[in-house]
Amino acid sequence: PVQTSARTEAAVRLAAVSDAEKISLVLPIRRNDNEFPRAFALLGSILKNAAPDLVHTLFVIVPDEEMEFFQASRQMAKRYAQQGSRFEITVVPQSVLFSKDKKSLEALSPKTTQAESEARGGRGVGYRMQMVAKLAIARMVKTKFYVTLDCDVLLTRPTSFSDLVIDGKGIVQADPQNQHQGWWKSARAILKEPTGCYLDSGNNGAGGVTPAVLSTDISRALLAKIESLYPGQKWDEVMFGLLDNGAGDWTEYTLYWQFACTSKMYNSFHTHVDKVQLYHGAFSFGSYKNWKAKQAFENRGVMFTVIQGIGGSQP
């Protein structure tokens, strides 16, 4: 008989799982002291707790000028993972996702760019590009659903496809406290939906934030919808141009959930399950001081924990 290695047998088992039963992961990241040092803790938590056949591809979205660094980091991450073909890590330069570069997008919204500049304590246009990159990546994703991540997220319990997608629908966590009215107003302005609508997803009908299970089809349809509403403009031109003109504080999630609702796509692709909590964490400034690692990793009722970097926590 032909002898096969354990690695070969594992690869055969993984190949038997179709892409329809896998999800993709999306991680925007920059090479700075707050984000990059956290990335290996995130990767380690995925390797420990994600089912071997769960992840199709991890997309790592980076500024173009940092591509060389992150390509080298990718090789280091693959060696660290020692998982062979478990899942692919693809480093994506931002320029692939946007029609304009950072300076051009800043020029479309000079007032907001100045107000949100890092010199004034803001997070800058680069941060907004990271936000909407979580939508734009859908044009590269090959799975029906993908999970958005940030470097301050950890996967804290064993998780399989059936935890994230139930009866073909991505789970939604209602999270109204992390969604502000100004964000919804800006999203409605971009989508030209003055009255908007509310999702049937639990408390106040507000969808969640990172980490979120997003539909590839909804994200693609959202970008197409924006371009159809503003003929002759690309979606990123519209969104950044309107920052100074009536939609000054949109987020990727208020746009996504508002469109999912008004387009009537929500019920076809998402479901809210009362007993399932996608994430829990320290979001407000200083709240990380009350975060307990042991409790977070022992709580089997929650899949992810967030120790928000902008909340004062250190890597």
Specify whether the CB–CB gap between 271 and 166 falls below 8 A.
Answer: yes
**Mean pLDDT across 193-210:** 67
Q: How far is CA 204 from CA 38, 169, 174, 207, 218, in A?
A: 33, 20, 8, 9, 21
Q: pLDDT for 299-310, tens place per residue? A: 777 899 887 665
pLDDT > 80? residue 199 = no
Q: In the structure, what pLDDT confidence band is assigned to residue 273 with cuts at 50, 70 and 90?
A: confident
**Number of CB atoms found within 10 A of residue 253's CB:** 25
Q: pLDDT for 4-15, tens place per residue? A: 444 444 444 444
Q: What are the residues whose beta carbons fall under 8 Å from the beta carbon of 11, sequence distance 6 or more?
A: 84, 85
**Mean pLDDT across 40-59:** 92
Q: In the structure, what pLDDT confidence band is assigned to residue 132 with cuts at 50, 70 and 90?
A: very high
pLDDT > 70? residue 120 = no
Specify whether the CB–CB gap between 126 and 4 falls below 8 A.
Answer: no
* % of the chain at pLDDT higher than 90: 46
Cβ-count burial of 118 within 10 angstroms (0-12 exposed, 13-18 middle, 19+ buried)? exposed
Specify whether the CB–CB gap between 97 and 137 falls below 8 A.
Answer: yes
**Mean pLDDT across 130-159:** 95
Which pLDDT score, from 0 to 100, does residue 180 have? 77
Q: How far is CA 169 from CA 9, 20, 257, in A?
A: 31, 12, 15
Length of the chain: 315
Average pLDDT, the chain: 82
Beta strands at 23-28 and 55-62: parallel, antiparallel or unpaired: parallel
Q: Which residue has the higher pLDDT, 311 or 170?
A: 170
Q: What is the per-residue DSSP string for 193-242?
A: -SS----SSSGGG----SS-EEEHHHHHHHHHHHHHHSTT--HHHHHHHG
- The CA distance from 17 to 11, in Å, is 10
Q: Which residue has the higher pLDDT, 29 or 73?
A: 29
- The CA distance from 195 to 279, in Å, is 29
Strand, coil or helix: 103:
helix
Out of 111-125, 149-163, 199-213, 270-284, the most confident range is: 149-163
pLDDT > 80? residue 277 = yes
Out of 44-48, 180-184, 244-248, the most confident range is: 44-48
Which pLDDT score, from 0 to 100, does residue 121 have? 59
- The CA distance from 295 to 315, in Å, is 19
Q: In the structure, what pLDDT confidence band is assigned to residue 23 with cuts at 50, 70 and 90?
A: very high
Phi/psi at 134 (nearest 5 deg)?
-70, -20
Q: In the structure, what pLDDT confidence band is assigned to residue 293 with cuts at 50, 70 and 90?
A: low
pLDDT > 90? residue 137 = yes
pTM: 0.87
Q: In the structure, what pLDDT confidence band is assigned to residue 157 with cuts at 50, 70 and 90?
A: very high
Phi/psi at 22 (nearest 5 deg)?
-125, 160
Phi/psi at 57 (nearest 5 deg)?
-145, 140
* % of the chain at pLDDT higher than 70: 78
**Number of CB atoms found within 10 A of residue 285's CB:** 11
pLDDT > 80? residue 179 = no
Three-state SS for 135-187 is HHHHHCCCCCEEEECCCCEEECCCECHHHHEECCEEEECCCHHHCCHHHHHHH
Q: Examine residue 158 and say whether the peptide bond preceding it is cis (omega within 30 degrees of 0).
A: no
Q: Which residue has the higher pLDDT, 45 or 5?
A: 45
Q: In the structure, what pLDDT confidence band is assigned to residue 138 with cuts at 50, 70 and 90?
A: very high
Strand, coil or helix: 245:
coil
Beta strands at 55-62 and 88-93: parallel, antiparallel or unpaired: parallel
Could you give the angle at the alpha carbon of 131 between the alpha carbons of 126 and 134, nearest 5°?
125
**Mean pLDDT across 130-138:** 96
